[in-house]
Structure 1
């Protein structure tokens, strides 16, 4: 499975889990249960993308979700009157940005580990109170020393440091998701609630314990990977929680709501895996069927090895650039936009069933289909060592780049070009070549690529009676009057 798909799924599941916690569980006083929920849900979020259940695979809703999220997407290709091969891709840029953020987060995590090691080497930790992995450090001179020591021992005995490290690692991996920073802060707050409740119960007075919180010193660096007693940023929340009325036992029934949430996550995970679509003679690309009988007829949306265009994506874009033509109807009507295609690369490497999911008309849909139909044979995709049929989607953008066409009946059609991005493409049948007039001089066999864009002032297109009237029989196939800048 594609690692990017897994990463996106994990962040989706984390976001759903935290949203459920925020709206249904956060205000309750079931601190131990909330801690367990956040821990288990964060672990499940990383595991679910790898879980495949046959029974979930067969559900109708899974097949519908699969068609939305699991079809292999190709990068967008832009067509202009002169189509150029893309020089870079958004995917590569996104991957580079991700790994830069990941590297920065990993460096910051490593620095915090180093600071923690340095903290342990200090002989006299005056005014400090914290615990980490079973080690409890409390300055005996602190006001309320006994209560503070008991508080830190709760952290130590319940292994809260493991939670802290786990959520720090999640923040490194999913650094781009703001939800993980809320999660990292929330788990520390829950740890404090648990320890505060335990010590306040032993003291028999939440009010007295709250006084210790307020009157204590605040010296420890809260950025370190420790459970810190003196964390000013959450002090108000801790005191408020101590005075809050305990939640009723019946409120625990809210945890049952997580079951349909887990089911929804399983549906998405299975839809993003090897969801199978039986190929029919005229398949509907927006629907999936449940009857999957023979391996040969199955169409996969995600496979272990994706089909490859001969020479790779760069070669594919070059092929499109060489073959595709901007339809004249679309140019004259100033039509631009995206054509979304869906097609199958079969187990023999041939492109079949190209279909327009969303088009813009004026010949653009047909042109996109024509080019895709004529793709050369691909290296087929494989699953479990066998060649299989695979679905792909591809957006092709038709863009005029500022070129404006003005068509008028029985009159010349004028094409006005901007100073930048002007180029010509041979799209005319050799037998139907128009007469070319450059600066009022007829030229034969003129190669457009010899003319630099910045040299062009305007192009005037004559056709029909207007062209014949001015140039005689030479204008039968139309005339291009090109005027360059003086």
Structure 2
């Protein structure tokens, strides 16, 4: 019964905390704070029911009325019959539901492990890439998703949208979103009857998508991509999958939503008085017995008396009355004939009586606390009919969401007395761009160069926000520009009337292909091989572009598939006319993959893998 009460209180706390989230916080753009709140409220729902308030109370003396002997009809209390209570029925229904949900969870794990086992693995520093070909993806009805350190991508996504999808899923991996989902799945096993647990899971999954969407380089391009990708994409129950059509509308709304004022962070303090009030209303109360005060002289002569009442054959006698002579203090024996009396004075007498036995008086000896008392049948009691008495057991016993009322958002200026400035000035910013620019491999391959115009806001503290591409070039140059701006140190904010203010800045970042090809940091020489007709320089991609391709062709002659260093690995493809040759290196060196075709020209395809740090 105590366990059922605990579970009921935990469910009530889950409902209370989620209602607070729904009313006060869900429309905010504090995605990380909302995630912390939901996870913290789950832990609090388990801990708060354990709070107990202790209240001291004075113990009253027990009083027992003596039963009188009845000559004609005798009443004998009988042991209660074993009956199944409602609490037992509820307990087994709850356990059955838990077993069903646990089996369902284990089944989901089994499907996931089979999917990962059958896929082709590429071990990277930050995660393991699992590649599913068309046949595997169709058989398992699986889209691209992530689960802890596994990033599963199907062949269709790999060929059409690798950069966006893998960057998105890598955010889930880096921020441990799968741990949240696993926690909720375990919670569903324990609290399967509480529908609010499903709401918790949906809200956390929504927050995960918001957090990953924030990493997009260009929100307009990304929003169009979400719409085009959202149809007919399946998902796994345990995983963070890229597209969820049911969340699409909210995700796009949040991409374009203005960021919530930081003043509204104070709304999270509302949960404190609500929680304290709930604790006082639901906390258990335990009463600590406090004996009545008495003089030390009396207390030293009083003790607790225990005993057992039986007949001459040693059979226990339930329902016998034991009282202290000339007192109202007494007790009745249980089904085993046992009784207890507290605070009995030495020298007092115990009177034992039962309607079918002779009364007996026993003196209390100082220092003796246990008594075995034998009473004899009373032959004067008439042998009339016996009435069996079975004691009856009693049966076991929102305001509407308020709109944010914080202060108006700070006005952003474009003109001021003193404009924002990069630390060290214009020359320092140019040096920063030169030192940190990594020319994207797609641009190198396509011989693309140009100027990207980036607009952003410098807030009052010098932080850079709302980074936006005004004029882009494509081929990874836009994403590289956003990365460079987001990685800048804090600027000196603009000044108006002696006060810092938010200002919009626009800068141009020029990408020079000739300079990039002459920079040794941008690539590496292909390791020595045998059987090649020529060698070429390969672009090194470390951050933004997760996958890029560079092609070179060789004349049809014997190709010796060996690379030194390091040791090579072979993977046999389903098509018997082609083989894939892969070489994986440590995080300090780029990795590459080659595919061989037995007819026509030999095609060497390099696919650069991300170094993630």
Larger relative strand fraction? 2
Which structure's CA Rg is the greater one? 2
TM-score (norm 2): 0.39
TM-score (norm 1): 0.49
Larger relative helix fraction? 1
